[in-house]
Structure 1
Amino acid sequence: MTMPGALRKFTLVLHVISSVSSLGAVACFLALGVVGLVSTGAETAQSPYAAMDAIARLVIVPLVFASLLTGLVQALGTTWGLFRHYWVLAKLLLTLLTAVVLLLQLDLISYVAGAAAKGLAEGDLLGMRRSLVVHAAGGIVVLLMTTVLSIYKPRGLTRYGWRKQQSQLRERP
């Protein structure tokens, strides 16, 4: 079942906006993480973590899930399908990976933000603070990969997609 053209374009716009916005939000998260990591002043080292917690919960999580949901709608409502092309399947798996890692990181983000509110010395929670930066950088790489897949759409049908294509070719008059 394919969506009507106007609905397909609308959901595509929502998907592009949520996907690209999540990339920008993660970039902001990364910038704040770097500032918190390299700052030597107590206040400058503490304040980014409260902002990171808010950005993660109020911006990144909703955008990643909006991207996931609109991507599923796009795949299921267009001829691309969810399991027909490797690039669609790869985008789905990468987006799911991003969502899972993000949800697993929320407790760590909150913990560091809470500790920062109480006061952080330069070396406090250094491993955790580095982990936030590393995960944000990894998130950017994954989100960039999904963006590249969206634009280049590498060829290659899955076995299911090939069988579906063959059956459609046989059904043609």
Structure 2
Amino acid sequence: MTATPRQDRTRGRPRPRTGSLPAFPRLSPAWRKTVLSAHVVASVGWLGAQVCLVTLLAAGLADDDPARVGAVYGAAGLLVSTLVAPVSLTALATGLVLSLGTPWGLARHWWVLIKLGLTALLVVGSNFSLGPQVLELAAATADGSVPPPLLERARTVIALSVALTVLLAATLLSTVKPFGRVRRRAGAPAARG
């Protein structure tokens, strides 16, 4: 079998074009499967943590007993402090490695760019805004005292519900892959990766 002029004869992969950005090495099939598995596990874990947080905070919102409210907010605080940062950062990191190390590329398809933007926004929001809000609620109710005002707790539930919806949208982008390829301007060098 002869290779086309644009194919590397030793690997059967396209050679980088002259003038393009430095290439990120392609993942071997075994590494791709490993990173993809880690990405799916982290993403599903993050999605599950978000569902649990919304459920716990909604249960605390609907309850009047300070001891039970403190218990559910304490559980939500434990989820935030132990699980949200590791799974969200792992999902973001493995997603970047997959986009750079596979033919999907980082800037070749609109769904990859949109999902990257949504994921980065969610990582920042989950770890620097929503997470601290949940931890404050957990600390405020830890001793079984009267919970913070209903409106404050409702805002946190609404914000977490919006974050969950955005996370579901990012998940759907991975399966549906809409919007096609990113079009390049004429004469612009093609970025690899």
Same fold (TM over 0.5): yes
Output aligned runs, 1:47-86, within 5 Å.
47-86=71-110
Aligned length: 166
Between the aligned residues of both structures, percent identity stands at: 34
How many angstroms does 1:161 deviate by?
9.6
* Partners of 1:112 and 1:128 within 8 A in 2: no
Q: Does 1:108 align with 2:133?
A: yes
Which structure is larger by alpha-carbon Rg, 1 or 2? 2
Output aligned runs, 1:10-21, within 5 Å.
10-21=34-45
**Structure 2: how far apart are the matches of 1:80 and 1:137?**
30
Sort the Cα spacing of 1:161 and 1:65 in 2 relative to 1 into closer, same or farther, 3 A: farther
Q: Does 1:43 align with 2:46?
A: no
* Partners of 2:130 and 2:160 within 8 A in 1: no
Which of 95, 120, 136 is residue 96 of structure 1 equivalent to?
A: 120
Q: Does 1:152 align with 2:176?
A: yes
Gaps spanning 5+ residues in structure 2: where? 1-24
- How much is the aligned-residue C-alpha RMSD, in angstroms? 2.2
**Structure 1: how far apart are the matches of 2:151 and 2:178?**
38
The residue type equivalent to 1:77 in the other structure is G
Sort the Cα spacing of 1:67 and 1:161 in 2 relative to 1 into closer, same or farther, 3 A: farther
The residue type equivalent to 2:167 in the other structure is L
How many angstroms does 1:136 deviate by?
1.6
* Partners of 1:91 and 1:146 within 8 A in 2: yes
Gaps spanning 5+ residues in structure 1: where? 169-173
How many angstroms does 1:144 deviate by?
0.7
- Range with bigger deviation, 41-50 or 102-111: 102-111
Q: Deviations over 1:122-168 (max 9, x none)?
A: 6x332221122112211211111111110111142223499677x99
Classify the secondary structure of the residue corresponding to 2:106.
Answer: coil
In terms of fraction of residues, the more helix-rich structure is 1
Classify the secondary structure of the residue corresponding to 1:118.
Answer: coil
- TM-score, normalised to structure 2, is 0.79
Which of 130, 143, 165 is residue 141 of structure 1 equivalent to?
A: 165
Output aligned runs, 1:20-31, within 5 Å.
20-31=44-55
The residue type equivalent to 1:125 in the other structure is P
The residue type equivalent to 1:86 in the other structure is W
Residue in 2 that maps onto 1:171: none
Residue in 2 that maps onto 1:34: 58
**Structure 2: how far apart are the matches of 1:127 and 1:72?**
38
Residue in 2 that maps onto 1:6: 30
Classify the secondary structure of the residue corresponding to 2:141.
Answer: helix
